[in-house]
Structure formats: structure tokens, C-alpha cells
């Protein structure tokens, strides 16, 4: 356990002051759906890393100084310069979130009969492609235990699809959410780019976590150890025609996004689309203050010192959980994935072991995490006969927000829970709804867990 936070804490947000008895009551009131709990009822909110980072004093200071209401905000120049210099893409467009960039890009390429291929596409991109009449298909690599880059796309299948289907674009999501947050290697990016060029198919990056991916390449891929993450990110981007990102992840902001490209014809189309759907060309859907926060956040987020802390804090958190007896997907990527079915082997699939574990974690420690909103796209050889997405819980680590002692405390919560795992009840659905946050549930036994 060697990582150190490369910052001092200047402003604090208090953890909720709520007892275990009060949490039992709160969860009962919320129909055993932790996604319905209010912020004041949560101690450790680990359900997402999106929009949850602690911003730096440089970000806050720049936000206060930004000039709002300008048709030509200076903040855009800083935003554009930063993204140009980190990615190498000359044409840069601000948008209000990652999905707004997806919307503009996909609406230019998606047509009935065409397909968008990806290692794994984020859920908003999937829905959007379908709404626009295109088909969307994921081609994740086969997961290999101990392999460092399980976020890769399967290049053989991609090549085969390219020779057989009508394809609009290829998107590589780095790191890859639906492959347990695993990174994509430079070798895989280079090969994908070479295949796409041969078939004249544009290649884009969903770069929400591209800075973290660059650091994974630095520490896991041969011959990149001596390069800075910044230089690696620049090389990564050089293999793509363009990228989009949500500034709520690696850029450590509460809102924002961008699209950037080297394609001149896309520049002209984006000029028009951003003005029509987002806002004026030089602020997109963002306030000037948000443009400043993104520029500084991306710059802080690509520093090796910060990324060393970020990646080591994730792997240390994984080690703490493993030590507590929690089965996790290894090596840890941009988030921690817990095999809840193996944590609670007495709970059958139809009684939702991940949901039961989530409820128990909340009662024991005030912890909220997340389910997978889509099938987990990898095999787990230890998984039961038919791997079920609802067997997994995802723990995200908001950037710069939680300390080592929080992680050690959460490890102790897991240890306590696992010691009495047989007493955790399965869950049944009382009312099924579209969207997990609206579902109503209850424990199969009289109580979910005894609280002693
Ligand atoms: C990989 C990936 N792509 C796209 C998005 C969409 O970004 P936003 O939430 O800013 O619209 C997300 C959000 O979590 C994501 O994780």
C-alpha cells in the first residue's frame, strides 16, 4: 500500500451522520433500491466516477474569473489550445456532455443498413445508433486471465465484419466500460487503425478515460515505460480520425464535453451542427467557466504524478478488497468489478446476489455502488454456468474524492459482511420498471440482514 495523494485537501464535504438502524429504515422506505436513496443517506457514493471529482483550486479560481455571456469567450481559446496540444486534433468543438458529441457524430454517419462497430459501445451510443436506424455491434476481445489489455477490440472479427458488412464508422472506447473498465493497448489501437484505413472506414475514439488509458499503456505495454502519459496520449490520438469525450471523467469537471477531429469535411458539418443543436460555435452547450474548468482539468489529468496516484489508488483499493475476501476482476482497470455471485454463493441467480450485496453494503457501511447497465462483455471462467450481468457490482472511485483510510474502512465493511454472508437474504422484485432506479424490491427473508 504505497500510493500517496499528490494534493492537500482544502475544502471538505462531511460524510452523512446516520446510524445503521436509520439506514435499515431508509432502505426499507426506498423499497430496497439503493439507487433511490437521497444524498444525505449515503456515506460513500461509489456508483459513478462521472461528474464526481473534486476540482482543484486552479479550476475553481479560473471559473470565478471567466467572463460569461460573451459571443467570443476567451475561455474557448484556452479550451481549444489545451485539447489541440494534448490530442493533436486541429478542429475542436465544445458540447455540453459526451452524449451530445455522440449525437452529432452519429447523426452524420448513421443510416439504415449501416453498422457502427466498437470494442464495446457505451449505452447512450448504442441507443442513439438504433434510434438513428443504424445497427450497432460490439466486438470485444476474448478475455484472457492475467492479460493487461482486456479492453481491446477483436481485430480478426473486425476485419471479417469489414469485408462482409456496410460499415459507417468504428469507435474504440478507451478505457472500455463494458469490459470491466479495462484498457486498450497501443498495439490494438494501431492495428485497428491500419485495418480501418485499408477499408476506408473512419475510426473514432470515445475518450472519456483516454488519459487513464495512456497511463495503463505506460505501465503495462513494453517500450512505453519511459514516455510520459501526455506523449502516449498524443500517439494514441494520432491513429484516430477524431475523438469525443465527456469532461465529467478524466477532465474532472461536473459537466462538459468535446469533439475533436482532423477531418476537414467534418469540421464544416460540426460548425453547423454545434450552432444548431448545442450553442454558439465557441461555447457549445457550456458556460465559459466550464470551458476553463475542462482546460485545466484535462491538463492536471494527464500529468504522470496525478495518474500514478489515480491508477495506484484503484489497484490499492482492489488489493484491500481482495484481502477482505472479495472476488474482483483483475487486473483492476478504471473501476472495480465485484463478482457478487461468488461473494454470496447461497443466493441463487433469481434472487439477485448483486442486488442483495448492494443492499447489505448500504446497511453495514452506508456504501452505494452500481450494477452493470448492460451485459458484462467478458467470460469469467469462475462464473456459474450462465454468466449473468446482475452477478456483478461495480465500484467507481470518484477522482481525488476519497482517501486511503476510506478505502481501508470500506475493506473492513466487506470483511464484516462476508463473515456473516449466510445471513444475507436474497431479493425479489415487487414491481418491475423500465430503468433500475425505479424498481421496487423486498428481501425474500423477513429481514435483509441482521445488523449486529
Ligand atoms: C465510455 C462513456 N462514453 C460516453 C459517456 C457519456 O458521457 P456523458 O454522461 O457526459 O453524456 C459515458 C458516461 O458515463 C461513458 O462512460
List the chain domain ranges: 20-42+304-443, 57-301
- Ligand 1 site-directed mutation target among 98, 204, 212, 245, most atoms within 8 Å of CB: 98
Contact 281, 259 (CB under 8 A): no
Distance CA 66, CA 358 (A): 41
Q: pLDDT tens digits for 221-237?
A: 999 999 999 999 999 99
Q: Just give the CATH number of 20-42+304-443.
A: 3.90.1150.10
Atom of ligand 1 nearest to the CA of 173: 1
**246 ligand 1 Cβ < 6 A:** yes
Q: pLDDT tens digits for 409-449?
A: 999 999 999 999 999 999 999 988 877 888 899 999 988 88
Q: pLDDT tens digits for 385-410?
A: 444 555 889 999 999 999 999 999 99
Instruction: Specify whether domain 57-301 bears CATH 3.30.365.10.
Output: no
Best CA proximity match to 394, nearest among 246, 178, 183 = 178
Residue count (the chain): 452
**97 ligand 1 Cβ < 6 A:** yes
* CA 451 to centroid of ligand 1, rounded, Å: 37
Atom of ligand 1 nearest to the CA of 99: 11
**98 ligand 1 Cβ < 6 A:** yes
Q: What is the pLDDT of residue 350?
A: 87
Contact 314, 212 (CB under 8 A): no
Mean of pLDDT over the chain? 93
**208 ligand 1 Cβ < 6 A:** yes
**Within this chain, domains 20-42+304-443 and 57-301 share the same CATH topology:** no
Q: pLDDT tens digits for 97-143?
A: 999 999 999 999 988 889 999 999 999 999 999 999 999 999 999 88
Amino acid at each position: 500500500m504505497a500510493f500517496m495523494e499528490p494534493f492537500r485537501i482544502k475544502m471538505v464535504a462531511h460524510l452523512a451522520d446516520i446510524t445503521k438502524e436509520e439506514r435499515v429504515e431508509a432502505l426499507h422506505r426506498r423499497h430496497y433500491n439503493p439507487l433511490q436513496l437521497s444524498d444525505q443517506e449515503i456515506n460513500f457514493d461509489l456508483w459513478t466516477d462521472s461528474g464526481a471529482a473534486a476540482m482543484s483550486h486552479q479550476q475553481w479560481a479560473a471559473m470565478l474569473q471567466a467572463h460569461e455571456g460573451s459571443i467570443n469567450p476567451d475561455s474557448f481559446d484556452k479550451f481549444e489550445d489545451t485539447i489541440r496540444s494534448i490530442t493533436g486534433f486541429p478542429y475542436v468543438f465544445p458540447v455540453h456532455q459526451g452524449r451530445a458529441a455522440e449525437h452529432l457524430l452519429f447523426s452524420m454517419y448513421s443510416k439504415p443498413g449501416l453498422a457502427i462497430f466498437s470494442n464495446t459501445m457505451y449505452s447512450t451510443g448504442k441507443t442513439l445508433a438504433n434510434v438513428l436506424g443504424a445497427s450497432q455491434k460490439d466486438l470485444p476481445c476474448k478475455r484472457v486471465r492475467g492479460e493487461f489489455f482486456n479492453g481491446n477490440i477483436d481485430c480478426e472479427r473486425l476485419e471479417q465484419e469489414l469485408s462482409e458488412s456496410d460499415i459507417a464508422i468504428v469507435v474504440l472506447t478507451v478505457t472500455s466500460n463494458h469490459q470491466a473498465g479495462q484498457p486498450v493497448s497501443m498495439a490494438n489501437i494501431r492495428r485497428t487503425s491500419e485495418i480501418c484505413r485499408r477499408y476506408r472506414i473512419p475510426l473514432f475514439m470515445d475518450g472519456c478515460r483516454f488519459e487513464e488509458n495512456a497511463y495503463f499503456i505506460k505501465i503495462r505495454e513494453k517500450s512505453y515505460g519511459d514516455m510520459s502519459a501526455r506523449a502516449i496520449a498524443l500517439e494514441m490520438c494520432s491513429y484516430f480520425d477524431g475523438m469525443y469525450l465527456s469532461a465529467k471523467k478524466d477532465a474532472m469537471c461536473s459537466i462538459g464535453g468535446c469533439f475533436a477531429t482532423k477531418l476537414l469535411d467534418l469540421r464544416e458539418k460540426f460548425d453547423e451542427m454545434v450552432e444548431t443543436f448545442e450553442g454558439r460555435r465557441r461555447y457549445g452547450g457550456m458556460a465559459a467557466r466550464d470551458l476553463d474548468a475542462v482546460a485545466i482539468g484535462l491538463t492536471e489529468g494527464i500529468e504522470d504524478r496525478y495518474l500514478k496516484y489515480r491508477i495506484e489508488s484503484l489497484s490499492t483499493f482492489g488489493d484491500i478488497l481482495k484481502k477482505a475476501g472479495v472476488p474482483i476482476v483483475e487486473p483492476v482497470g478504471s473501476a472495480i468489478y465485484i463478482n457478487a455471485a461468488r461473494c454470496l454463493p447461497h443466493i441463487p441467480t433469481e434472487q439477485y446476489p448483486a442486488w442483495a450485496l448492494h443492499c447489505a453494503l448500504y446497511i453495514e457501511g452506508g456504501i452505494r455502488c452500481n450494477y452493470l447497465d448492460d451485459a458484462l462483455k467478458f467470460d469469467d471462467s469462475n462464473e456459474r454456468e450462465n454468466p449473468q450481468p446482475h452477478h456483478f457490482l461495480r465500484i467507481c472511485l470518484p477522482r481525488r474524492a476519497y482517501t486511503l483510510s476510506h478505502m481501508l474502512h470500506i475493506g473492513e465493511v466487506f470483511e464484516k459482511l462476508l463473515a456473516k454472508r449466510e445471513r444475507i437474504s436474497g431479493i425479489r422484485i415487487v414491481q418491475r420498471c423500465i430503468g433500475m432506479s425505479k424498481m421496487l424490491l423486498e428481501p425474500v427473508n423477513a429481514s435483509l440482514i441482521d445488523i449486529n
